[in-house]
Amino acid sequence: MNENRTTHRSGRTAVRLAVVLCLMLVVSLLPLAAYGVVAPVTHADVQVSYLDSAAISLDATGAAHTYLSLDGAPAVESLSCTTSVYGSHVLKFWSVDAGGVSEATITAPFFVDDDIHPTIVSDATGSYVLAASITATATDNFNGSGIDFLCYRVDGKNYVQVSPPSASAAARLFFARLAAISGTAASFGPPDLPNYDNPPVPHYGTNCAGCHALIQDGGETGPGGTFSKSITVTGIGTHTVEFWTQDVARNESAHVTSTFTISKVATSLTIARSKSSIYRYHYVTISGKLAGGVPAGAPVVLQIKSPGSSSYRTLSTRTTAADGSWSYRVKLSKRGRCYFRARYAGTADYASCSSRSIYVTVK
């Protein structure tokens, strides 16, 4: 009997160890809930979309700590978050109980829309010489969707649209990122968004071929999300320029209209005499200067009204030097007062002008 107990003792010990190990394995495979251990549950009042600003609150049951991460930022312990940045966002949150048991991370996508209209201003003044150089600057609200394009037209002609080079890419990135989000519940699916490739009426579409002169990228992006476009208007006379802008969220600014005139470069013409009186058959020099930046070689017509005459006639056509000066030496033979004046006919860029009248007494 003692021999049998001694003989089979080692076998009984191995069997008992195997049973204990099996029980431990079964316990490790059973869910914590089977032993009364339940992970905390966190709820959020997140909505699919918000207007201008999102404020989200969390409510956790059985939690000692609740954590959240917005758009991939480092997690923080908090029961709320806010953002007013336009576009798609992803909120991740979870809770941990006092024993260190954590619930599965919950992913909640949402979209912040924008209904604040952008503004636009121009530096147009009332008058210009030769050409008008005008800059319009569009500005969207802080954290807004950003300027999508700026439009203008001159004298009621075709519209011209200019866009920041990054505007189209940025908008498509917003929408593509949002569409790629897959929520853990159907209610967290991406909201319906307009098709960015089909811009709104009335300045687009199949009926718009006649209203746009040009659609292009251009302009300059400045600080604070501003976008500027400079244009040059030429042509002597009165002009009207109209500007407006639209942001990526399809909010349009008020139209800014400016009326101004473009004139030629002003010129002036002086005249002088070398002597105020001379004897018959003597010479006098008539001279002057054409001012206003007219290039050298401009024609100046010198006119004379002889004693006894009621009208002026052309005496000579002189060409100006680099400084605008001109002169003519003339012999006078008729007694009395001889009147002189000079005239410049002007060009497309320079205005015409006339000098005052002067006279020389001939004895």
Strand segments (E) across 218-347: 220-221, 227-234, 237-247, 256-263, 268-269, 272-273, 277-278, 282-291, 299-305, 313-319, 325-332, 336-344
Q: Of 65, 90, 113, which one is at a domain's C-terminal end?
A: 113
What region, left, alpha or beta, does residue 211 occupy, with left being phi > 0 and alpha being psi -120 to 50 degrees? Answer: alpha
Residue 35 inside a domain? The answer is no
Q: Of 113, 128, 151, which one is at a domain's C-terminal end?
A: 113
pLDDT for 79-135, tens place per residue? 999 999 888 999 999 999 999 999 999 999 999 999 989 999 999 999 999 999 999
Q: What is the CATH number of the domain that holds 62?
A: 2.60.40.10
Whether residue 126 is found in the same domain as residue 109? no
pLDDT for 269-323, tens place per residue? 999 999 999 999 999 999 999 999 999 999 999 999 999 999 999 999 999 999 9
The pLDDT value given to residue 142: 81
What percent of the chain has a predicted confidence (pLDDT) above 70?
Answer: 73
Confidence band (pLDDT; 50, 70, 90) for 141?
confident
pTM of the model: 0.65
Quick check: bond before 191 cis, omega within 30? no
List the domain range (segments joined by +) for residue 346: 268-362
Query: Is residue 327 predicted with pLDDT exceeding 90?
Result: yes
Q: Of 55, 81, 113, which one is at a domain's C-terminal end?
A: 113
The answer to whether the CB of 138 falls within 8 A of the CB of 120 is yes
Task: Give the Cα separation of 5 and 1 in Å (integer).
Answer: 6
What mean pLDDT is predicted for residues 331-343?
Answer: 97
Averaged pLDDT score across all residues of the chain: 81
The pLDDT value given to residue 11: 47
pLDDT for 158-179, tens place per residue? 888 888 766 554 544 444 444 4
What mean pLDDT is predicted for residues 5-16?
Answer: 42
